[in-house]
Amino acid sequence: MEPFNTLNAKAAPLDMINVDTDIIIPKQFLKTVKRTGLGVSAFYNIRYDDDGNPLPDFVLNKPEYADAQILITGENFGCGSSREHAPWAILDMGFRCIISPSFADIFFNNSFKNGILPIELPQEQVDQLMESAEQDPDALIQIDLEKQTITRGNKFSVEFEIDPFRKHCLMNGLDDIGLTLEKGLHIDTFEEKRGVEQPWV
């Protein structure tokens, strides 16, 4: 998993509430177990027409947001079924950070495990960032995970909360497998000792 330290990037405003995981990645795309390749199908039902052509009015199809790495959206993002394909799809689109007033718990947890930083801010601050992204798509927002700050030039600066363990994992690029491998020496020592003391196991 790629470490997350600081991010200077454009933001895309997805002004929707209750975006569930079936909107993020519809069920017909859940057949794969690969974490890559899902970005093109993300938000499929609201991103494309019946013939599979991109809808020009959908915000994530607009060229000014093509290289955005921060997604600003409404409350209760990621609700619905507990599919890990949802953060996979969002990450594959190029987003490393999502800012919202609130997230569904399972999506929130899965995001951290896949290298995405979900940040909860008060509605008023989310509205400010949403408006600035709409009015000035080229403006860069800086996310500093170590300092736990979000800044936009000299016009916006706030701090955000994050669990220290999740912060450690993101900054060091540790998913569940990476965390286990950190204990590799202890695991090897245990297995060697058990092999001597309990060779029948």
pLDDT at residue 194 above 90?
no
pLDDT at residue 168 above 90?
yes
pLDDT of residue 184: 63
CA gap 84, 113 in Å, rounded: 10
Does residue 125 contact residue 97 with C-beta atoms inside 8 Å? Answer: no
Q: Give φ, ψ of 13 to 5 degrees.
A: -95, 110
Give Cα separations from 45 to 26, 48, 54, 75, 77 (angstroms).
8, 6, 10, 20, 17
Which pLDDT tens digit goes with each residue over 81-114? 889 999 999 999 999 999 999 999 999 999 999 9
User: Tokens representing 115?
Assistant: 């290298």
Confidence of residue 183 (pLDDT cuts 50, 70, 90): low
Question: What is the set of domains in the chain, with CATH numbers?
Answer: 6-173 (3.20.19.10)
pLDDT at residue 193 above 90?
no
**Predicted TM-score of the model (pTM):** 0.88
Which pLDDT tens digit goes with each residue over 33-64? 888 899 999 999 999 999 999 999 999 999 99
Does residue 142 contact residue 5 with C-beta atoms inside 8 Å? Answer: no
Give Cα separations from 68 to 72, 168, 176 (angstroms).
10, 25, 27
**Please, where are the H alpha helices in 122-171?**
123-135, 164-171
